[in-house]
Structure formats: C-alpha cells, structure tokens
Amino acid sequence: MDKESLSQLIEISHAVGAHREYVQAGGGNTSVKSPDGRTMAIKASGTALASMGESLGWVELDLARVRAIFERRDLATLETNEREARILEQLTAAVVGGRGRPSVESVPHALLGRVIIHTHPVAVNAVTCGPGEKALSEIAPSDEPPPLWIPYSDPGWSLGMAIRSAAGVYEKKHGCLPAAIFLENHGLFVSASQAGECLALHHEWVSRCERYFSPKAPPLRSAPRLDSASLRKAMVELRRVWREARGVPLLARLSDDSELIGAACEGTAETLAAGALTPDIIVYTGGRAVLADALEELATKLKPALAESAPPRVALVKNVGVFLLAEDARRLEAAEQVAASAAKIARLAAGSGGARNLSRSAAEFITNWEAEHYRAHLLESADAPPAGQVALVTGAASGLGCGIAQGLVEAGAAVAFCDVDQPGAEAAAAASTEPRRALPVRMDVTDEAAVAEGFDQVLCRWGGVDIVVCAAGIAPPYELVDMPLDKWRLALEINLTGYFLVAREAARIMRAQGDGGSMIIVSSKTGLDASRANSAYNATKAGELHLMRGWALELGPDGIRVNAVAPGNVFEGSRIWNPEYIKVCADKRGIKPEEVIPYYTSLTALKREVKRSDVAGAVVFLCSDRARCITGQTLVVDSGQVMVR
C-alpha cells in the first residue's frame, strides 16, 4: 500500500476509533483503496481502530480477487458455515500485504468509494433500530442525494450482496454511488474520495441523527446507592453461580455508567432483556440481558441463562443497577462499553416509537458465525492463574507495594492499588502494563471504615477479592533511647493494626465467596533477624509473621492460604529507604551515605541487590496453583542474607 493511502487509513481509523459514541470495543471498519484502484487496505478483523499503526492492524487486498467473490454463483447454494468458510479462504488468498485476518466486511467495502468508514454510532443505531427508514426523510437534507437504506442482512456475504444490488439501483437513479448507507439494526457506511472529506461526512450524518433525537429522548433517571451488605451478598452469589456454570473465575462490575443506571430504572430494561439490537451487542454482551425485579432474584435468573448459546454478560435489576459479567478485564470493559451504547440506543429510540430487537434467526446467525467467534476469542485470556482473579495490594503507591501490584497486573490479575496517597496510587496504576486491570483506591489501613469502603470499591469494580497483599508499612529509624512514642505507636498502627484490619475484611469476603483465596503478608528479613536502631520495625515485622501463622490455621478449613514474604533490603522506589533513613544507616555503620546500598548488598550470599520484581515474583508464585499446598510459610527473598532457622 502506498504511503499516502496508508496514512489516510490510519487517520480515519484513529479519528473515529477514539470516539466512544462512534465505536465501542473492537467494532467498526475502515478502508482506503490505492490510487490505481487495484488494492484496498482494510482494518484487520478484531483490531481496535484506535490501535491501528503503520505495521499492524490492517491488511491489503487485491480488489479484483475480492470482487470476484460476487461472481461465484455456488455461494448462494451452500450451507451458511460452509459458505462463510469459502469466503474467508477467498479473502485470505486475496491478501497481498499487511498483517492480520481480513475484515468480515471486506466484500461490501470493495463496492464503494475510495475512502470508507463503517461504524456503529449510538445516534445512528437509534435510527436503524428505532424509527428506521421513515426517519431518514426528516434527517436527510433535501438538496443532496439521499442516503441508501439497507434492510437487515446478515453481515459478510449477504450484506455485500444486498449492498451491491441496492447500490446498483441507486446509481442508475441518482447517477452516483451512495455516499451514506444506513444498515438496519447494524450501523453506517460513508465513503468519499479523501480522508478529510470522509471524516466530515461521517461526523455530519451522526450529528444529524443526534439532532433528530435531542428533543424527543426521555431524560435519564438515577438509582439509589446500593448498601455495602447488599452489594457483597449479590457479588458473592453472582460469582458462585458463574463458577458453578462455567468453571472459570468471574469479574463482575456494578456499573456507574449513567445510561446503564438509567436503563435499570426505565422501561428500556425490557427492550435489552428481549434480545440484542445489533450484531456487536451479541458478540460482546451475549444474546440478551438478564432482568430481575429485585436483587434477591438476580442469581436465580442468571443461572439458567448461562446455558444459552450466547450467555448474557449484562444483568439488570430494576431500580437498582446493572451488573457486567466477564472472565477477564478486557471482556468486562468491552461489555460495559457495548451495553452502555445499547442502553442509550434504546433510550433515544423510546422517544420515537421504541427500539426493535434483532430477529431470532438474525441473532442465531451471529451466535453461530465463526467470524464473530474469532472476534470474541481475541478478547480472551489464555494466561494461567492469577489471570481472571482480583487482587488488592496495600501500600501500592510506592516501593514494594507498587512493585508487587504491578507484578500481579503483569501476571494477569485485576489489581486494586490501595494507598493513603491517592495521587501516588493513581500514578502507580497508570504506569502498570495494563491500566484497565489497575484500580487506584485511597485506603488508610489504620481506619476501619476506610478499609471497608476500599474493599467495597473493589467489589463494585470487579465483584470480589481472591488475593490480598498487605504491604503498607513504615520503619522509624531511632535508637531505643531516642524513640518518640508517637512514632512507635504509628508503626504499630500501620504495620500491625493495618494488617489486621485488611486481613479481617479480606477473610470475611473470601469466606463468604466459598472459593478459597490467598493472603500474602509482606514482612521483612528484619522480622527474622533484628537490626539495630529499628525497635518498632523489628517488633512489628516479627509480629506480622506470627499473625500470618495464626491466620493460616484459622482460615485453612476455608481453603484460604496465608503466607508471608520476607524481603531483604529493597532500595528501588522505596520510601523507607529515604535520604534520612540512609543517613541513619550510614552513621550506624560508619560509612558514607552513598556507600550504604553497596554495603548492604555485600552482606548477602549472592552479592546481588534485591529488586521489586524479585519480591513480586515470589508473591505471584505464592498466589498461584503451584503453591496450592503451601500455607503458614515464610518465603525469604533477600539474596541469602538471613537463613531461616
């Protein structure tokens, strides 16, 4: 593909892909034909438009070979799955550049203008799923060729054939191909000769649809806040039902999206429960939403629905809210985006006669279509545990807590970065390898109410807690005779009371979930071998180890494992090893401050500085199934400075 055409493809893809009202999850397609009209670069199947780049997310197709698909008379006689497999073979054979799988909509893209944008804008689909073709006469200006309306057709070959036939009639009547095509219960195609022109045309049609609904749509309603006890009970039941039916962990979210909250409080809930409105909704949220009249009914209503061919990932409770359900964070985010747009489509259409769901046969086609299975598969995680599990780490704004939290994110867990330092927790979460699986939570571990509120935030976001790591701590560096009482008491509050409050809250939730769990106590080599001028740290780190052993005995019958890591000196990103503390250590050893880190490293058997990632690796191991028979133990990560006796 020539450089200019590829640049235009990336331009239009990024422009529409960044707009949630235009594109949700991995939906939408874009394409640009070469100046000579011989090839076409099109988005690869399953690629998010916003992530397309010069070397990824698109494929280049030989247009003559794509258009030849229309001439194959045998395709109409084949059974659906065989036909679609043959078309995929033909499209794959037409690839001449790029990387990825050709889009399922390559066939209709081959028919239209040079630059094409195909999206599923909320306002447009409020038309295509609502008042339909009759609304276009009000929306379209009278001084330009009208848009083309296509009655619902199954995506892929059927849609391509429908567009081919209708566009041919349109061209004879108007002397040009349609610049805009409205697809019933599907979305919008616009085409033009240049990227800027195509983007402007796309924006104008979406704006026209938004103006059409603005005076007609009913206002949003809000729901009362769900109390902590009800939230916890509902999440425990949802995770239990899901685990029993599907045998995998569940991430569940009580959405704070205003459209979804409004849907639970309005008549549109019935529309969402009756079936999907568009193909994308089936791919990302299932064939329909579950609807319960009361929170107590939710798990009962969900259980039989999970046996359906396209099980629901959206559950509405009237006048309470909407729960999103998925095996991992990527699918959860996609489900929330698509469900929120479905709720808005239903709300906008409600002011113009209501929304129409896809027919049963249309929904079955999408459910059974290999191409959509492929798109959904791209969202799945193949990682071993802790992937799909929820972890909470205290002291995660800096130092060891931050390193452990980021290590758990890298291992696949959804992780709450908890710290009294809210900006620090936000920065640490944002810096993780997968920010959508990182939630910053302000938590003062010495405050009982703040700890409970922090856990509730995590349950609202992801539905439960499977792993808890207590890592918040301080180390006031004073000789015994100089130790201020307030510093001693603060160390006890954070390093012991804080661990107790967090572990107690975690144990209550894990025990209610009934699926075991893992707790990790971050102690220190100092908990095993005391150091000078460190009374509070010595006492609390040793105390943490004994708390861990007692909790392991108490919680073992519930399948909850409790272990400790005892790191050596971890200087990287540490707030404990601050300049003041390093100076105290230097004075204690009679060395210069810049010699402190090399000195302490020299005390280890391996002569190797311990990094945060070393401790994070130990924590990930202890939380994994590989450590399923390990509890009540202390894993020392100190390069061999202290030997466990």
Q: Domains of the chain by range and CATH?
A: 3-213 (3.40.225.10), 228-377 (3.40.225.10), 390-574+611-637 (3.40.50.720)
Q: Give backbone dihedrals phi and psi of 581, rounded to 5 degrees, phi first.
A: -65, -40
Q: What share of the chain is helix, strand, coil (3-state, %, to 5)?
A: 50, 15, 35
> What confidence score (pLDDT) does residue 382 get?
45
Residue 101 DSSP label: P
581 has catalytic annotation: no
**Residue 376: CB atoms within 10 Å:** 17
Residue of 152, 170, 499, 537 marked catalytic: 537
Q: Give backbone dihedrals phi and psi of 252, rounded to 5 degrees, phi first.
A: -125, 145
Instruction: Please list the ranges in the chain whose pLDDT falls under 70.
Output: 370-385, 644-645
Judging by DSSP bridges, how do beta strands 414-419 and 314-317 pair with one another?
unpaired
Output the CA angle 555-558-562, nearest 5 degrees: 40
- First vs last Cα of the chain: how many Å apart? 67
> What confidence score (pLDDT) does residue 614 get?
96
Alpha-carbon Rg for the chain in angstroms: 29
Q: What does the H/E/C string look like for 271-313? A: HHHHCCCCHHHHHHHCCCCEEECCHHHHHHHHHHHCCCCCCCC
**Helix axis angle, 422-430 to 399-410, nearest 10°:** 30
d(CA 261, CA 103): 34
On whether the CB atoms of residues 446 and 494 are closer than 8 A, the answer is yes
d(CA 295, CA 477): 52
On whether the CB atoms of residues 443 and 426 are closer than 8 A, the answer is no
Category of 156 on φ-ψ map: left (φ > 0), alpha (ψ -120 to 50) or beta? left
On whether the CB atoms of residues 181 and 148 are closer than 8 A, the answer is yes
Task: Name 251's bridge partners.
Answer: 326
